[in-house]
Amino acid sequence: MFQRVGKSEASVIISVDGTRVTARAGDTVAAALLAAGLTSTRTTPISGTPRAPYCMMGVCFECLVTIDDVGNRQGCLIPVSEGMRVDTQKGKREAGR
Amino acid sequence: MSAVTSLDDHYDVAVIGAGPAGLAAATVTATAGLSTVVLDDNPAPGGQVWRAVTTTPVQDRRVLGDDYWKGQEIVQAFQASGAKHALGAAVWSLSREREIGVSFGGGARMLEARRVVIASGALERPFPIPGWTLPGVMSVGGAQTLLKASGLVPGGRVVLAGAGPLLWLFAHQMLQAGGQIHAILDTSDRAGWRAALKHAMPFVTSPYLVKGLKLMAGVRRRVRLLTGVTSLAAGGRNKVEAVIFRQGSEGGQRMAADMLLLHQGVVPNVNLAMAAGVEHHWDAQQLCFVPVLDTFGGTGIEGVAIAGDGAGIAGAEAAVERGRLAGIAAVRALKGDTGKLPDETASRKVLAKYDGARAFLDTLYRPSRGFRIPAGDTIVCRCEEVTAQQVIDNVRIGCTGPNQLKSFLRCGMGPCQGRMCGLTVTELIAETRGVTPAEIGYYRLRPPVKPIALAELASMPKTESDVTAVVRI
Ligand code: FES
């Protein structure tokens, strides 16, 4: 649960699991997902329990998502861009990605 | 710069990390006329302390405060220096010959530098408590990054728990931004105050004092503070719903919560330096591994220096000076004294001021044993979901150190490569075996220190000999 403060010039439209999400220019993917109200952003490959971004600085790898069909990308390091397709990962990374 | 092909094969100086130390070092070397590149995996310059200082939507300066906005000046000087900056560039290897492997803009490549400054900064000390993997539990630093970079303030019942200057700074910033803090659970050890007093004199004269006390007093006036917290857990099914804790030896308490933000200090980010072969030792005061360095940050590897918090925690202002010193040493080594160098003694004076105060802070905020060395089902390695009890059991049946533990339990072998569990594992094994952490050591780290996709490796420019080498196999 997060609220926005401050202002930004532009918004960026991305899709998250097929749903349209408006992010702020300058958001990282992980920030955009949290701002959109997602509580968890993946489930673990081992026990399948839900996880969410923890460090936001590239350390913990809890923010792994599939971006434009490339799996296991660190959402907290990658800025959103117009039309980006983000898919959350369930368990093991899907084969072929 | 955005494509891997826009990088040159050779630079005089490569700086890894665009925080206070890296920016300062690169400014010195580029200004002196050395070809300089800064490689950093963040989307904008500033490192973590000055995260998004050029792009933050939080333009009301009272929210993030003067120390944050100071970064603007350093970033501007850097941008005017002529140094190249590769944003979003992940460095995954560094060899003794100063060959650097980097992923950037979807490709990967090697480049060489005559001098390397590692300025990869600090990361938050692991805070392994029951339930710390639940969504809704986040590090204070993580929440602070969301505020700086995206103007996001946590809402609902937000509980902050732990100790250390960053926790108080963030509490202040969050309140300034209009956020509400349900409670702060202070885990600092009361004994810490007594022990810290003997280091108090240098602290009283240091720049930390007035700022720090004012900030804490301001927060305490507005937030419910529970002190002497000796145990802590996050409860909930698929997200955090409550914080369960104890104060001193009193009975357990339960507080409903929507977010739990954890912090117990920062430690050097050692992965790249260790993988490159830089010698580190256990610092019993700061309870972490720090590199062995000369007075300019030089390591035992010819031409490789470490500056900033990666050299031992000292804070942003000290990091700038340590970056300058590493830059000065690089210029002297490659060009001699050019007359275009910043004043070395000025840097050393500032450093002395901050160093003196550090012992007080380190002692005061020394994280207590129970929060560093977990027990039972508490997850130690978040990636491979290894618990404290599993580590203890394996040590009891003969596992002697962190490297063996990797093959026994895969502990430390997930994508974070031990960043979230390394110190916990070292201390846990040390305690179980009854020896010092120095004796146990850290995970042996090897490149790549950041995961790299096979496609990126395959796309690397190859020489004739690379190709024949592969063909022969
Ligand atoms: S949130 Fe920790 S690596 Fe992205």
CA of B262 to the centre of ligand 1 (A): 15
Pairwise pLDDT comparison (B47 vs B194), residue with the higher score: B47
> Which chain A residues are closer than 8 Å to B155 by Cβ?
1-3
Helix runs in B365-421, H state only: 369-372, 388-396, 402-409
Residues of A at the B interface, defined by Cβ within 8 angstroms: 1-8, 24, 26-28, 31-32, 34-35, 39-41, 44, 46-47, 49-62, 64, 70, 72, 76-79
Write out the two tokens for A69: 């069909």
Look at residue B120 in the predicted model and tell me its pLDDT.
Answer: 96
Q: Is the pLDDT confidence value at B455 over 90?
A: no
Residue B24: name the closest of B38, B44, B7 by CA: B38
Look at residue A96 in the predicted model and tell me its pLDDT.
Answer: 45
Q: Is the pLDDT confidence value at B200 over 90?
A: no
| Average pLDDT for A9-23 | 93
* A20-68 tens-digit pLDDT: 999 999 999 999 999 999 999 999 988 999 999 999 999 999 999 999 9
- CB-CB under 8 Å, A62 with B136: no
A54 in contact with ligand 1, CB cutoff 6 A: yes
Minimal CA separation from A88 to chain B, in Å: 14
Distance from C-alpha of B103 to C-alpha of B108, rounded to nearest angstrom: 4
Q: Give residue B90's Cα distance to chain centre.
A: 15
The β-bridge partners of B308 are none
- CB-CB under 8 Å, B451 with A50: no
Any A CB within 8 A of B62 CB = no
| Among B62-66, B156-160, B198-202, B348-352, the least confident range | B198-202
E-state strands within chain A: 2-4, 11-16, 19-24, 42-43, 50-51, 64-67, 70-74, 85-87
Look at residue B28 in the predicted model and tell me its pLDDT.
Answer: 97
- CB-CB under 8 Å, A5 with B153: yes
Q: Is the pLDDT confidence value at B60 over 60?
A: yes
Distance from C-alpha of B243 to C-alpha of B156, rounded to nearest angstrom: 14
Among chain A residues, CA nearest to B106: A70
The β-bridge partners of B185 are B161, B226
CA of B377 to the centre of ligand 1 (A): 23
Half-sphere exposure of B439 (CA within 13 A, CB side): 10
Domain annotation for chain A: domains and CATH numbers: 12-88 (3.10.20.440)
Distance from C-alpha of B82 to C-alpha of B426, rounded to nearest angstrom: 42
| Average pLDDT for B92-107 | 93
Residue A60: name the closest of B416, B181, B443 by CA: B416
Minimal CA separation from A86 to chain B, in Å: 17
The β-bridge partners of B103 are B90, B108
CA of B26 to the centre of ligand 1 (A): 27
Write out the two tokens for B56: 């933050």
Cα-based torsion angle of the residue sequence B338, B340, B343, B344 in order, rounded to the nearest 10 degrees: -40
Q: Is the pLDDT confidence value at A7 over 90?
A: no
End-to-end CA distance of chain A: 30
CA of A59 to the centre of ligand 1 (A): 5
A13 in contact with ligand 1, CB cutoff 6 A: no
Look at residue B175 in the predicted model and tell me its pLDDT.
Answer: 97
**A77 Cα nearest atom in ligand 1:** 4
Look at residue B460 in the predicted model and tell me its pLDDT.
Answer: 79
A58 in contact with ligand 1, CB cutoff 6 A: yes
From A42, A56, A72, A73, give the residue whose CB has the most ligand 1 atoms within 8 Å, as the site to mutate. Answer: A56
Confidence of residue B471 (pLDDT cuts 50, 70, 90): very low
| Among B20-29, B84-93, B301-310, the least confident range | B84-93
| Average pLDDT for B171-182 | 97
Residue B440: name the closest of B401, B413, B382 by CA: B401
Q: Is the pLDDT confidence value at B473 over 60?
A: no
> Is residue B219 within 8 Å of residue B168, measured between CB atoms?
yes
Interfacial B residues in 185-204 facing A (CB < 8 Å)? none
* B213-230 tens-digit pLDDT: 888 889 999 999 999 999
